Amino acid sequence: MSNSDDEEGSHAQWSGPWYLFPPIRNALIAAVIAILTFGLSLFDFLPLLVENSLYAVAMLLGGFHWLQEGFEELIDEYEIGIEILMLAAAGGAVALGLWEEAAFLVILYGAAEGVEEYTFARTRASIRSLLDLAPEEARLITNGSTQMIPARELDIGDLFRVKPGESIPTDGQIVDGRSTVDQAAVTGESAAVDKQEGDQVFAGTVNQEGVLDIEATTPFEDNTLSKMIHLVEEAQEEKGKSQLFIEKFGGVYSPIVLLVALGLMIAPFVVGLQSVWARRAIVLLVAAAPCALVMSTPIAIASGIGRAGREGVLVKGGIHLENLGKIEAIAFDKTGTLTRGEPVVTDVVAFEGTEDDVLRQAASVEQYSEHHLGEAIMNAAAERGLEQTEVSEFSSITGYGAQAQLMEETVYVGKPGLFDRFDLDIEEIQEAENLQSEGKTVVLVGTPNRIIGVIALRDEPRPEAKDVIDDLHEMDVDVLMLTGDNEETAQAIAAELGIDDVRADLKPEEKVEAVKELTAKYEAVAMVGDGINDAPALAQATVGIAMGTAGTDAAIEAADIALMADDITKVTYALQLGKRAQEISRENIVFSLLVLAALIPAALLGVIGIAIAVVAHEGSELLAIGNGLRVRRG
């Protein structure tokens, strides 16, 4: 069993045909030599010395890679691995004069190991192929003219142009132009995203419509695509708890198997049964080698991490993918996670004139305001096609709202407390109370003499949030909200989305305490936030999931799982992938143990010979590999 998941050799990221992959190629050539030798030997065409020499050549060729790995492990780490068991079995077969059985063993084991290494190499190559999405050349802008240069020469501050249909060579900020950009390669988003001056763009994404002039914010080798690939490759090297346990078990188990086999050869020698038990000892070395067991977890983990990376979900280690499969409860931050992160107008109540009149007057006063509520009111007016009226004597009233002279009277727009200075019965406005009870922020529009209308705003839930919560409930995952927002607003959002538990008015340190309580109650807890403000809570959770982290180093570093897109549906995708990887790993472990439970007694009782043991052993390893690859296809 090779350590191909840790391999960094020349074929660690193979992208050529499978039959030219060096370990598989060598095994195929060795198989041809062995089969031809066996065929010729049936007709006594070859002297025995020549026949055995050809088998020896086939064994050296077919076993070159795994023998090298076995000796390196023995010399460098003082560990007896599965390769040493296979070497002992082949050596024992040769000592007994079973040259064809020895060759059969070495070649089949070499082929199985080659398939395993090829699988890992292709997994690495599939994520690295994302680099091919970035163009090799960039259109550099200098002194108003453009020239083509290698994309790798782009540096921070360089200005480059991307035409419609072209890929963006490195991360940057648009300085001129607007377009839609397909970001699927980086974020996993299915729909193209509108981009304009001031927006970020990422390497490997595709400009679909307009011409964009972009200022590079990272050099080519450090762009988001490159960092993504590096993170995925690092994560595939990280081992989960199951894999670490199985490897530790294998480190003890393999020497024991070797000692037992040696005992079977030596002990019966005294009573003259050495030939029978020597054969059984050799069969035992093959039958008891735990290849499929050791392969049961890493192939599923590596496949899952690679597949997730291509979907814009960065899993930063095997242990985190394993933990995703164990999640029993998930806690969401509210603002910017379950909600859009920006207020929108939800209701307009007119006491004088029409709703449009109220919204037009409010937008006219707010047109000079920089407050986010004022911006939301102006956006709502623009959506209705309402034109703002020119105002004069505008002034902002800190903490309350704004005022301006409109149509020869002063109009105020702000929270109810703004109107306390006037002799108005605002407490009697039932509509405002009803809207506030729904968790909405109420803005009054009026003059010193009367209230013209009420505008309600709220940071609305994402359209897909309800479906995500429903999907999590179907997966038997409890859903909670941890937010610093007020209780009334939090409860209103939670009721709308169907969230099980709400904890509001929380400071950052109180979120951490809440997550601690949850981890004491559940086997595994996930926390979803923005990766920066919620970093302490993300770190406390079993699995911390940061959303919308494309191009944000701090957010990626803060979490165990980084969702490149601002897409909450990727949370359920990540959990489903984790559960699938866990299920397939368990299937492989159970299957491998059953194979060992069948082969070991059969070997000791002499029911099977070397050939059957080899076929069963290598066949089980290939089945474990194939089953593990189902994670990538799921």
Catalytic residue positions, numbered: 333
Beta bridge partners, 195, equal 179
What is the C-alpha separation between 452 and 482, in angstroms, rounded? 37
Residue among 292, 322, 293, 291 at smallest CA distance from 305: 322
What is the arrangement of strands in the sheet containing 451-458, beginning at the earlier edge strand? 344-350, 451-458, 441-446, 409-414, 401-406, 392-397
Q: How far apart are CA 539 and CA 518, in angstroms?
A: 14
Cβ atoms 314, 308 nearer than 8 A: yes
- Interior angle at CA 256, CA 251 and CA 260, nearest 5: 160
**Residue 451 is encoded by which pair of tokens?**
């209230």
Give the Cα separation of 160 and 172 in Å (integer). Answer: 9
Whole-Å CA distances, 447 to 378, 403, 413: 19, 9, 9
The DSSP bridge pattern shows strands 200-201 and 172-176 to be: antiparallel
Strand 561-563 to 543-546 pairing: parallel
DSSP string, 31-97: HHHHHHHHHHHHTT-S-HHHHHHHHHHHHHHHHHHHHHHHHHHHHHH----HHHHHHHHHHHHHHTT
Which residues 6+ apart lie within 8 Å of 214 measured at CB?
159, 160, 161, 162, 168, 172, 173, 174, 175, 201
Cβ contact 168:202 at 8 Å: yes
Residues 6+ apart with CB under 8 A from 223: 134, 170, 171, 202, 203, 204
